[in-house]
Amino acid sequence: MLTWKDVINFSVNGNPTPDRRVEKTEAEWSAQLTLEQFRITRQKGTERAHSGALCSIYDEGKYNCICCNTPLFDSTIKFSSGTGWPSFTQPIKENAIKYEKDSSFGMVRVEVMCNTCDAHLGHIFPDGPEPSGLRYCINSESMTLEKETD
């Protein structure tokens, strides 16, 4: 289980190696994504609070990167944070997420990205529920829900 100390360590000393890499040109990403998906994932944007389609959905399944379809989060670790964005306590695998220090907008945060394709997902905070205490605050537009089938 990842902790805040692990997150800071990754953001300072380097991230775990992803299982694979996906690299495309800006034109290729632009052709594949909607304007809003491109703005958020490739230009480090954010959606308005409570506006994302995945914010209030709690169906069983996996949340995959909208850009490269890498599994990022499992529905079993999603929780209602009240912040207006889908929130998770852990990634599906330690090497699914990339962490970088973000000093934009006059504050210091830790940005989370897809470790496979570098898509901006959102930010992580140390104010989540136990046992990890982590809150991955993720834009709905950066993910797709692959629902479990019986």
Catalytic residues: 137
In this structure, what token pair is assigned to residue 101? 């220090």
Cβ-based neighbour number of residue 29 at 10 Å: 18
Distance separating alpha carbons of residues 145 and 74, to the nearest angstrom: 9
Partner residues linked to 114 by β-bridges: 97
CA distance 103 to 49: 21
Whose CA is closest to 67, among 148, 7, 147, 139?
A: 139
